[in-house]
Protein backbone atom coordinates (compact mmCIF):
# COMPACT_ATOMS: atom_id res chain seq x y z
CA UNK A 1 0.00 0.00 0.00
CA UNK A 2 1.29 3.44 -0.86
CA UNK A 3 -0.07 6.62 0.69
CA UNK A 4 -3.13 7.01 2.90
CA UNK A 5 -5.11 8.79 0.20
CA UNK A 6 -5.19 5.72 -1.98
CA UNK A 7 -6.14 3.42 0.89
CA UNK A 8 -8.94 5.67 2.16
CA UNK A 9 -10.41 5.82 -1.29
CA UNK A 10 -11.48 2.66 -3.08
CA UNK A 11 -11.79 4.61 -6.32
CA UNK A 12 -10.39 7.94 -7.35
CA UNK A 13 -10.72 9.45 -10.80
CA UNK A 14 -9.61 12.80 -12.15
CA UNK A 15 -10.76 14.12 -15.50
CA UNK A 16 -11.83 10.62 -16.51
CA UNK A 17 -13.15 10.72 -20.06
CA UNK A 18 -14.41 8.16 -22.57
CA UNK A 19 -15.24 9.15 -26.13
CA UNK A 20 -17.04 7.15 -28.77
CA UNK A 21 -16.31 9.17 -31.89
CA UNK A 22 -17.66 12.59 -31.06
CA UNK A 23 -19.86 11.34 -28.23
CA UNK A 24 -18.53 11.99 -24.74
CA UNK A 25 -19.98 8.98 -22.91
CA UNK A 26 -18.03 9.96 -19.76
CA UNK A 27 -16.96 13.59 -19.63
CA UNK A 28 -14.20 14.86 -17.35
CA UNK A 29 -15.32 12.89 -14.33
CA UNK A 30 -13.72 13.37 -10.93
CA UNK A 31 -15.02 10.81 -8.51
CA UNK A 32 -13.97 9.72 -5.02
CA UNK A 33 -15.41 6.55 -3.52
CA UNK A 34 -14.50 6.07 0.16
CA UNK A 35 -13.34 2.63 1.21
CA UNK A 36 -16.11 0.87 3.11
CA UNK A 37 -18.95 2.85 1.55
CA UNK A 38 -22.01 1.73 -0.36
CA UNK A 39 -21.74 4.17 -3.20
CA UNK A 40 -24.63 4.71 -5.61
CA UNK A 41 -24.14 6.05 -9.12
CA UNK A 42 -27.46 7.44 -10.25
CA UNK A 43 -28.49 8.68 -13.64
CA UNK A 44 -30.96 8.15 -16.46
CA UNK A 45 -30.32 5.69 -19.27
CA UNK A 46 -27.40 6.79 -21.42
CA UNK A 47 -25.83 8.85 -18.61
CA UNK A 48 -22.57 6.88 -18.81
CA UNK A 49 -22.87 4.61 -15.76
CA UNK A 50 -22.04 1.33 -17.50
CA UNK A 51 -19.16 2.98 -19.37
CA UNK A 52 -17.76 4.26 -16.06
CA UNK A 53 -18.07 0.83 -14.45
CA UNK A 54 -16.43 -0.93 -17.39
CA UNK A 55 -13.45 1.42 -17.02
CA UNK A 56 -13.25 0.74 -13.27
CA UNK A 57 -13.30 -2.98 -13.96
CA UNK A 58 -10.48 -2.63 -16.54
CA UNK A 59 -12.74 -3.84 -19.37
CA UNK A 60 -12.59 -0.53 -21.18
CA UNK A 61 -9.69 1.87 -21.57
CA UNK A 62 -10.34 5.53 -20.77
CA UNK A 63 -9.75 8.00 -23.62
CA UNK A 64 -8.05 10.30 -21.11
CA UNK A 65 -7.85 11.14 -17.43
CA UNK A 66 -6.62 9.41 -14.31
CA UNK A 67 -8.06 6.37 -12.65
CA UNK A 68 -6.99 4.62 -9.48
CA UNK A 69 -8.89 1.62 -8.13
CA UNK A 70 -7.71 0.46 -4.70
CA UNK A 71 -4.46 2.21 -5.47
CA UNK A 72 -4.05 0.32 -8.74
CA UNK A 73 -4.10 1.78 -12.24
CA UNK A 74 -6.36 -0.61 -14.18
CA UNK A 75 -4.41 0.00 -17.38
CA UNK A 76 -1.12 -1.03 -15.75
CA UNK A 77 -2.03 -3.79 -13.37
CA UNK A 78 -5.06 -5.54 -14.69
CA UNK A 79 -4.40 -8.89 -13.01
CA UNK A 80 -3.92 -7.35 -9.57
CA UNK A 81 -7.09 -5.32 -10.02
CA UNK A 82 -9.22 -8.25 -11.17
CA UNK A 83 -8.04 -10.28 -8.20
CA UNK A 84 -9.48 -7.65 -5.85
CA UNK A 85 -12.53 -6.44 -7.76
CA UNK A 86 -15.83 -8.24 -8.39
CA UNK A 87 -17.80 -6.92 -11.34
CA UNK A 88 -21.42 -7.67 -12.05
CA UNK A 89 -22.36 -6.62 -15.57
CA UNK A 90 -25.85 -5.42 -16.45
CA UNK A 91 -26.47 -8.62 -18.38
CA UNK A 92 -25.91 -12.18 -17.22
CA UNK A 93 -24.40 -13.37 -20.48
CA UNK A 94 -25.32 -16.60 -22.18
CA UNK A 95 -24.52 -19.65 -20.15
CA UNK A 96 -27.93 -21.15 -20.42
CA UNK A 97 -26.89 -24.72 -20.99
CA UNK A 98 -25.12 -24.86 -17.63
CA UNK A 99 -26.32 -25.85 -14.23
CA UNK A 100 -25.98 -23.30 -11.41
CA UNK A 101 -23.08 -25.18 -9.83
CA UNK A 102 -21.30 -25.53 -13.20
CA UNK A 103 -21.75 -21.83 -13.86
CA UNK A 104 -19.97 -20.96 -10.60
CA UNK A 105 -17.28 -23.60 -11.20
CA UNK A 106 -16.60 -21.96 -14.54
CA UNK A 107 -15.91 -18.64 -12.83
CA UNK A 108 -13.98 -20.24 -9.96
CA UNK A 109 -11.73 -21.80 -12.61
CA UNK A 110 -11.31 -18.55 -14.52
CA UNK A 111 -10.31 -16.78 -11.30
CA UNK A 112 -7.88 -19.61 -10.60
CA UNK A 113 -9.47 -20.67 -7.33
CA UNK A 114 -7.77 -24.00 -6.47
CA UNK A 115 -10.05 -26.90 -7.42
CA UNK A 116 -10.07 -28.46 -3.93
CA UNK A 117 -11.77 -25.29 -2.61
CA UNK A 118 -14.58 -25.14 -5.16
CA UNK A 119 -17.05 -27.34 -3.36
CA UNK A 120 -17.03 -25.49 -0.02
CA UNK A 121 -16.77 -22.09 -1.71
CA UNK A 122 -19.75 -22.68 -3.99
CA UNK A 123 -21.83 -24.07 -1.13
CA UNK A 124 -21.06 -20.91 0.89
CA UNK A 125 -21.87 -18.57 -2.01
CA UNK A 126 -25.13 -20.33 -2.79
CA UNK A 127 -26.12 -20.07 0.83
CA UNK A 128 -25.24 -16.39 0.92
CA UNK A 129 -27.42 -15.57 -2.09
CA UNK A 130 -30.06 -18.08 -1.02
CA UNK A 131 -29.80 -20.32 -4.02
CA UNK A 132 -28.67 -23.55 -2.34
CA UNK A 133 -31.82 -25.39 -3.44
CA UNK A 134 -31.12 -24.38 -7.05
CA UNK A 135 -27.60 -25.84 -7.07
CA UNK A 136 -28.43 -28.39 -9.77
CA UNK A 137 -31.00 -26.38 -11.70
CA UNK A 138 -30.30 -25.11 -15.19
CA UNK A 139 -29.38 -21.41 -15.22
CA UNK A 140 -32.10 -20.67 -17.80
CA UNK A 141 -34.78 -22.05 -15.50
CA UNK A 142 -34.09 -19.39 -12.85
CA UNK A 143 -36.29 -16.35 -12.31
CA UNK A 144 -34.89 -12.91 -13.01
CA UNK A 145 -34.23 -12.29 -9.31
CA UNK A 146 -32.43 -15.61 -8.97
CA UNK A 147 -30.31 -14.87 -12.04
CA UNK A 148 -29.33 -11.53 -10.53
CA UNK A 149 -28.35 -13.26 -7.29
CA UNK A 150 -26.38 -15.88 -9.21
CA UNK A 151 -24.60 -13.08 -11.02
CA UNK A 152 -23.76 -11.54 -7.65
CA UNK A 153 -22.43 -14.89 -6.41
CA UNK A 154 -20.27 -15.04 -9.54
CA UNK A 155 -18.85 -11.59 -8.73
CA UNK A 156 -17.93 -12.88 -5.26
CA UNK A 157 -16.16 -16.08 -6.32
CA UNK A 158 -12.68 -14.69 -5.60
CA UNK A 159 -13.68 -12.83 -2.40
CA UNK A 160 -13.01 -9.33 -3.77
CA UNK A 161 -12.62 -6.22 -1.58
CA UNK A 162 -14.55 -4.04 -4.01
CA UNK A 163 -17.83 -4.89 -5.74
CA UNK A 164 -18.93 -3.01 -8.84
CA UNK A 165 -22.56 -3.86 -9.55
CA UNK A 166 -24.22 -2.51 -12.68
CA UNK A 167 -27.97 -2.11 -12.13
CA UNK A 168 -28.32 -5.24 -9.99
CA UNK A 169 -31.90 -4.35 -9.02
CA UNK A 170 -33.25 -3.83 -12.52
CA UNK A 171 -36.24 -5.97 -13.31
CA UNK A 172 -36.62 -7.22 -9.74
CA UNK A 173 -39.94 -7.27 -7.97
CA UNK A 174 -40.23 -5.32 -4.68
CA UNK A 175 -39.56 -8.35 -2.49
CA UNK A 176 -36.44 -9.34 -4.46
CA UNK A 177 -35.28 -5.73 -4.22
CA UNK A 178 -35.55 -5.74 -0.44
CA UNK A 179 -33.64 -9.04 -0.34
CA UNK A 180 -30.92 -7.58 -2.54
CA UNK A 181 -30.62 -4.57 -0.26
CA UNK A 182 -30.21 -6.81 2.77
CA UNK A 183 -27.59 -8.82 0.93
CA UNK A 184 -25.66 -5.67 0.03
CA UNK A 185 -25.76 -4.48 3.63
CA UNK A 186 -24.46 -7.88 4.73
CA UNK A 187 -21.59 -7.77 2.25
CA UNK A 188 -20.76 -4.22 3.31
CA UNK A 189 -20.70 -5.34 6.95
CA UNK A 190 -18.20 -8.01 5.89
CA UNK A 191 -15.91 -5.13 4.90
CA UNK A 192 -16.55 -4.88 1.19
CA UNK A 193 -16.85 -1.55 -0.56
CA UNK A 194 -19.82 -1.59 -2.92
CA UNK A 195 -20.41 0.59 -5.95
CA UNK A 196 -23.84 0.18 -7.45
CA UNK A 197 -25.68 1.91 -10.28
CA UNK A 198 -29.33 2.54 -10.92
CA UNK A 199 -31.55 4.74 -13.02
CA UNK A 200 -34.22 4.45 -10.33
CA UNK A 201 -33.38 6.71 -7.43
CA UNK A 202 -35.66 5.08 -4.90
CA UNK A 203 -33.71 1.83 -5.30
CA UNK A 204 -30.58 3.37 -3.84
CA UNK A 205 -31.99 5.80 -1.37
CA UNK A 206 -32.11 3.46 1.59
CA UNK A 207 -28.95 1.52 1.14
CA UNK A 208 -26.32 4.04 -0.01
CA UNK A 209 -24.02 5.98 2.30
CA UNK A 210 -22.85 8.08 -0.66
CA UNK A 211 -24.30 8.90 -4.04
CA UNK A 212 -23.10 10.49 -7.25
CA UNK A 213 -25.50 11.93 -9.75
CA UNK A 214 -24.62 11.64 -13.39
CA UNK A 215 -26.21 12.93 -16.54
CA UNK A 216 -25.06 12.98 -20.16
CA UNK A 217 -21.55 11.87 -19.20
CA UNK A 218 -21.10 14.47 -16.48
CA UNK A 219 -20.97 14.10 -12.75
CA UNK A 220 -23.32 16.71 -11.31
CA UNK A 221 -22.82 16.12 -7.60
CA UNK A 222 -21.47 13.53 -5.20
CA UNK A 223 -21.27 12.85 -1.48
CA UNK A 224 -23.59 11.72 1.31
CA UNK A 225 -27.16 12.46 0.09
CA UNK A 226 -27.85 14.73 3.06
CA UNK A 227 -24.69 16.77 2.49
CA UNK A 228 -25.43 17.33 -1.18
CA UNK A 229 -28.90 18.50 -0.35
CA UNK A 230 -27.57 20.91 2.31
CA UNK A 231 -24.85 22.21 0.01
CA UNK A 232 -27.31 22.91 -2.74
CA UNK A 233 -29.68 24.52 -0.30
CA UNK A 234 -32.41 22.19 -1.43
CA UNK A 235 -35.59 22.48 0.57
CA UNK A 236 -37.23 19.66 2.49
CA UNK A 237 -40.80 19.00 3.35
CA UNK A 238 -41.74 18.31 6.96
CA UNK A 239 -44.94 16.45 7.69
CA UNK A 240 -46.39 17.30 11.08
CA UNK A 241 -49.24 15.48 12.78
CA UNK A 242 -51.02 17.12 15.68
CA UNK A 243 -52.81 15.47 18.60
CA UNK A 244 -56.21 16.35 17.11
CA UNK A 245 -55.33 14.27 14.03
CA UNK A 246 -54.65 17.26 11.78
CA UNK A 247 -51.72 16.80 9.38
CA UNK A 248 -49.90 19.77 7.87
CA UNK A 249 -46.79 20.05 5.71
CA UNK A 250 -44.13 22.76 5.94
CA UNK A 251 -41.22 23.56 3.66
CA UNK A 252 -37.86 24.28 5.32
CA UNK A 253 -34.49 25.13 3.82
CA UNK A 254 -31.99 23.59 6.23
CA UNK A 255 -31.47 21.43 9.29
CA UNK A 256 -31.46 24.58 11.45
CA UNK A 257 -34.81 25.65 10.00
CA UNK A 258 -36.14 22.21 10.80
CA UNK A 259 -35.37 22.84 14.49
CA UNK A 260 -36.78 26.38 14.36
CA UNK A 261 -40.04 25.16 12.91
CA UNK A 262 -40.48 22.57 15.63
CA UNK A 263 -39.68 25.10 18.35
CA UNK A 264 -42.13 27.58 16.86
CA UNK A 265 -44.93 25.04 16.70
CA UNK A 266 -44.41 23.55 20.16
CA UNK A 267 -43.11 26.44 22.27
CA UNK A 268 -44.31 29.63 20.58
CA UNK A 269 -47.64 28.35 19.38
CA UNK A 270 -48.15 25.70 22.07
CA UNK A 271 -49.42 23.13 19.59
CA UNK A 272 -49.52 19.46 20.50
CA UNK A 273 -47.19 17.80 17.97
CA UNK A 274 -47.34 14.00 17.95
CA UNK A 275 -45.32 13.30 14.80
CA UNK A 276 -42.62 15.33 13.06
CA UNK A 277 -41.07 13.62 10.03
CA UNK A 278 -39.32 14.54 6.85
CA UNK A 279 -41.20 13.36 3.80
CA UNK A 280 -39.42 10.51 2.03
CA UNK A 281 -38.29 10.83 -1.56
CA UNK A 282 -35.24 12.82 -0.53
CA UNK A 283 -33.08 11.42 -3.30
CA UNK A 284 -35.77 12.02 -5.86
CA UNK A 285 -35.89 15.63 -4.78
CA UNK A 286 -32.10 15.79 -4.71
CA UNK A 287 -31.93 14.54 -8.28
CA UNK A 288 -34.43 17.14 -9.44
CA UNK A 289 -32.56 19.89 -7.62
CA UNK A 290 -29.21 18.88 -9.07
CA UNK A 291 -30.37 18.42 -12.63
CA UNK A 292 -32.40 21.62 -12.69
CA UNK A 293 -31.35 23.79 -15.57
CA UNK A 294 -29.17 21.08 -17.06
CA UNK A 295 -31.96 19.14 -18.72
CA UNK A 296 -33.31 21.27 -21.54
N1 LIG B 1 -19.63 0.74 -27.49
C2 LIG B 1 -20.23 1.91 -27.66
N3 LIG B 1 -20.13 2.58 -28.83
C4 LIG B 1 -20.71 3.79 -29.01
N5 LIG B 1 -21.46 4.41 -28.08
C6 LIG B 1 -21.61 3.79 -26.90
C7 LIG B 1 -21.02 2.52 -26.63
N8 LIG B 1 -21.35 2.15 -25.37
C9 LIG B 1 -22.11 3.14 -24.88
N10 LIG B 1 -22.28 4.12 -25.79
C11 LIG B 1 -23.02 5.38 -25.59
O12 LIG B 1 -22.46 6.03 -24.46
C13 LIG B 1 -23.46 6.66 -23.69
C14 LIG B 1 -23.41 6.14 -22.27
O15 LIG B 1 -23.84 4.78 -22.27
P16 LIG B 1 -23.87 3.89 -20.96
O17 LIG B 1 -22.56 4.01 -20.26
O18 LIG B 1 -24.32 2.52 -21.35
O19 LIG B 1 -24.99 4.63 -20.09
P20 LIG B 1 -25.85 4.08 -18.85
O21 LIG B 1 -25.23 2.82 -18.36
O22 LIG B 1 -25.85 5.20 -17.87
O23 LIG B 1 -27.23 3.85 -19.40
C24 LIG B 1 -24.78 6.38 -24.40
O25 LIG B 1 -25.09 7.49 -25.22
C26 LIG B 1 -24.48 5.17 -25.23
O27 LIG B 1 -25.30 5.11 -26.37
MG1 LIG C 1 -26.06 0.94 -18.10
> Domain segments of the chain: what residues?
4-222, 231-291
Please name the residue whose Cα sits nearest to atom 18 of ligand 1.
50
Helices (H), the chain: 4-8, 49-56, 78-84, 100-110, 118-128, 144-155, 174-189, 201-205, 225-231, 255-263, 282-291
> Which DSSP helix (H) or strand (E) runs through 113?
none
**Total count of residues recorded for the chain:** 296
d(CA 122, CA 105): 8
Q: How far is ligand 2, taken at its centre, from the CA of residue 136, in Å? A: 31
pLDDT by position in tens, the chain (length 296): 444 444 589 999 999 999 999 999 999 999 999 999 999 999 888 999 999 999 999 999 999 999 999 999 998 899 999 999 999 998 877 677 899 999 999 999 999 999 999 999 999 999 988 999 999 999 999 988 888 889 999 999 999 999 999 999 887 778 888 888 898 999 999 999 999 998 876 677 778 999 999 999 999 889 887 777 666 666 778 899 999 999 998 888 777 788 899 999 999 999 999 999 887 555 666 666 666 544 33
Pocket of ligand 1 (CB under 6 A): 20, 23, 25, 43, 45-51
CATH, domain range 4-222? 3.40.50.300
Cβ pair 214, 221 in contact under 8 A: no
Helices (H) and strands (E) in the chain, counts: 11, 12
User: Which residues neighbour 186 within 8 Å (Cβ) at sequence distance 6 or greater?
Assistant: 128
CA proximity to 25, closest of 244, 215, 252: 215
pTM, 2 dp: 0.81
- pLDDT score recorded for residue 1: 42
Closest listed residue to residue 136, CA positions, set 118, 123, 121? 123
Which numbered ligand comes closest to the C-alpha of 41? 1
Pocket probe for ligand 1: among 18, 23, 25, 215, the residue whose CB has the most ligand atoms within 8 Å is: 25
Amino acid sequence: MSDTTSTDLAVRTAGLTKRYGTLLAVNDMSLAVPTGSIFGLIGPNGAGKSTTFAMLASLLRPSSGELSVMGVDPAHDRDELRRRLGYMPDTLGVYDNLRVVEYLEFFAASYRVPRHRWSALIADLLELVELSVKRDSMVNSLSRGMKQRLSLARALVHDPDLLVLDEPASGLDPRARVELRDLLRGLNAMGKTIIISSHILAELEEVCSHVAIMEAGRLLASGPPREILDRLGGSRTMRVRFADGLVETFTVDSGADQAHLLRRLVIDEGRDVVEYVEESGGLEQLFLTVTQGVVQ
